Amino acid sequence: MRTKGLFVFMALLVGIAVSASPASAQSQAVDEATLAAFSAELETIRQALHIPGWSVAIVSGQELVWAEGFGYADIEEGIPASAETPYHLASVTKPIAATLLMQLVEEGVVNLNDPVAQYGVRRDNPDITVWHLLTHTSEGVPGTTHQYSGNYYADLGQVIQAATGQPFATLLAERMLVPLNMERTAPNPDWYPGSPAAFPTVMGWTSDLRQTPSVYHDLARPYQFDADYDNVSGSYPMHFSPAAGLLSTVVDIAKFDIALDQGVLVTPATREQMFTPARSNDGDELIYSLGWYTQTYRDDRLVYHSGGWDPSVSALLLKVPDQQLTFILLANNYNLTRPFPLGEGDVLYSTPALAFYKHFVLPRHADSAVPTINWEAPATSIVQQLRQVPDPAVRDLLEHELWSYRKLFASVGRFDRAEMLYTVHQQAFPEYAASRIDPVAYGGNGPVADPQPVSLRPDHVLTIGRFFTAWLLLTLLAFVVLLIDLRRSLGVALPIKLAWLFATLLFGILSWIAYRVSDYRYQRKNGEPMPAWLRAFGPTLYSVTGQVAALLVVLAIVVVYFPDSDGAALFAIPAMFLTGWLLLRGPLAAWARQKTYWQALRHTFFIELASTLPVVIGVLTVLVLVTDRYLRSLGPMSPFYWATLPLAGVAGALLLYPVNCWLVQRGRCDWPAMYQGSDSDLVLSHETLAKVY
């Protein structure tokens, strides 16, 4: 307890110190002229990449020396990007999660050599250890090669929870976000799908995550490319785990970076271990360490992690540990990282990262500066400038820059310029050109031809969650009141009672309203037959409820036994019909008309078919539209899954209701199933009602 208390106290001091440093403060190590030149180049790069907005920060000597926004966080609303604009971090979440895990390693709570099965992680290979997950060496023969896998890395959340008894997000808030005063940082509000903690978290029933409404409200709007490489509304994923899903600002990431370098989060020895390249089983040095990519360029150690999440998320965190420099860049479009193969171990093929290196790292130990090349100039002019550079080290850096601009131009559809630079590459750097893939042939960053789901802003997610909480409470109240009322109606058939109760579970308060409107005591009070439009309420809700229940069962079976199948609808439609016919309408018709079950089935086949089709059209249309347009992941642990079902049911009911009105008028709808005489005689006898009520 004392150790933990000391840690929190130290972290609070760092948080106060960091938060007290203004974002615009200038350090002696970073002069204004350099900042101005870098800022101008960064803005040129942003526009060339067609990125709507990004925010940048530089840390020097464990001090935030510069933070600024470029472009727009929201184009439509005219909201400019700023140093305090929150963005999705995507995989830049990984080094933060790795730091938390290494705290547990230092405390002896987790051992890197432990098999992950010890923590409840189920993978095919029992030899996979925590170290393998952390270094992305868990696939194939564990420890043999680096193969980046966000899915395997996400398993570290299970390791953390099993070791501590607390979810990753809760522990993150307790150990970092709160002590470091990272008030503009929060987890994605829809937790990792399948986690039992998802529901109460999104509903706002727990406060462990320090859900800061301003973070979700101010989150930069996501954008993606259309077929012409123009920005249109994009979407953000609904996921949170150690692999991805943290939301933050460049200023808050700077707070984390400073605390890491000051030894507050982990010891210097552990930090050095995290920055040291991992080695394979054969002793070969890998490009990844413990949560970070690592490389050495001209004796400069570069430690970094990029983040990219199609179609609208990209981020970059680059550290130069030996010079105590850090570069942070967050964007609201995928194109900050998508064009550049940062996962191959060379961050300097990223145009923004290379610009940072040229302006702030190289001048500290190099005599000659890198000349400024206008990559929009004619080919002959560019070739002439490049041939005049004698220094091999500078030429190597310019070759990196040329290659990155080839990728940049291809990423926004400027293939003519990319092809021209390929020719320049061959002429100016013949020793490199043969080994570089042509970005046009490679494909570059093509447009998003098919529209991606529209984003639900996280603050909207929480608002919907709270609304759904109120809906659940009203549904529970309606269910209890209905149950009490139906107990008094002892003569009403059990199928009718169950129908109303199940309908209430699906439609909530709407079912209670329909029940009161179509109250069968209507005739007793008024002494006249109930109109067909009232009698149609019951069978409509009954049919929709039964068929949605069938849909749920089918989806559950498909998810469990056929997880890779995209044909759930092929199973769902016949299942909805068969369930409604065999298990619902058949027994009800047999009871209502005093027929055998098989006679009732023959009598109701076409009636059920006529009822199923509008329900299927309404329900599946809503489910497909909502999941495709708004939700990229829709699972049973998501409240949106359950909130969408009543909406889908209402759509099915609206389409079915006119059909049932017609069936009731023709005496073909068996509800309330207490008729006298022929099918066309729809008047309930007062004697029957007297028995019921």
Q: What is the mean pLDDT of residues 233-258?
A: 91
Least confident of 51-65, 82-96, 576-590: 576-590
- Per the document, the length of the chain is 693
Structure confidence at residue 325 as a pLDDT band (50, 70, 90): very high
Q: Write the pLDDT tens digit of every residue in 194-238.
A: 444 455 555 555 544 445 667 888 899 999 998 889 999 888 877
User: In percent, how much of the chain has pLDDT > 70?
Assistant: 75
What value does the mean pLDDT of the chain take? 80
Q: Write the pLDDT tens digit of every residue in 577-612.
A: 887 788 777 777 776 667 788 888 888 888 888 888
Return the pLDDT at 316.
97
Beta bridge partners of 69: 55
Within 412-536, residue ranges assigned H as helices are 415-428, 430-433, 439-442, 458-488, 494-507, 509-517, 522-526, 532-535
Residue 631 pLDDT > 60: no
Least confident of 20-29, 224-233, 242-251, 391-400: 20-29
Interhelix angle 568-578/537-561, nearest 10 degrees: 140
Least confident of 51-65, 92-106, 664-678: 664-678
Tell me the domains of the chain and their CATH numbers. 2-333 (3.40.710.10), 366-453 (no CATH), 458-692 (no CATH)
Residue 461 pLDDT > 90: no
Structure confidence at residue 266 as a pLDDT band (50, 70, 90): very high
**For residue 578, how far is the Cα from the chain centroid?**
36
Q: Write the pLDDT tens digit of every residue in 492-517.
A: 556 667 777 878 887 888 888 877 77
Return the pLDDT at 159.
96
Interhelix angle 392-411/379-387, nearest 10 degrees: 160
Q: What is the mean pLDDT of residues 169-175?
A: 90
Return the pLDDT at 540.
82
Residue 8 pLDDT > 50: no
Contact between residue 577 and residue 563 where contact means Cβ atoms under 8 Å apart? no
| Distance between CA atoms of residues 135 and 144, nearest Å | 11
Q: Which of 594, 592, 556, 560 is nearest to 572 (CA)?
A: 556
- DSSP state letter for 288: B
Least confident of 145-159, 216-230, 290-304, 666-680: 666-680
Structure confidence at residue 43 as a pLDDT band (50, 70, 90): very high
Residue 5 pLDDT > 60: no
Structure confidence at residue 10 as a pLDDT band (50, 70, 90): very low
Q: What is the mean pLDDT of residues 648-669?
A: 83
| Distance between CA atoms of residues 568 and 559, nearest Å | 9
Structure confidence at residue 20 as a pLDDT band (50, 70, 90): very low
Residue 487 pLDDT > 80: no
Structure confidence at residue 532 as a pLDDT band (50, 70, 90): confident
List the strands of the sheet with 325-331, edge to edge: 79-80, 64-74, 53-60, 325-331, 313-320, 300-309, 293-297
Residue 272 pLDDT > 50: yes
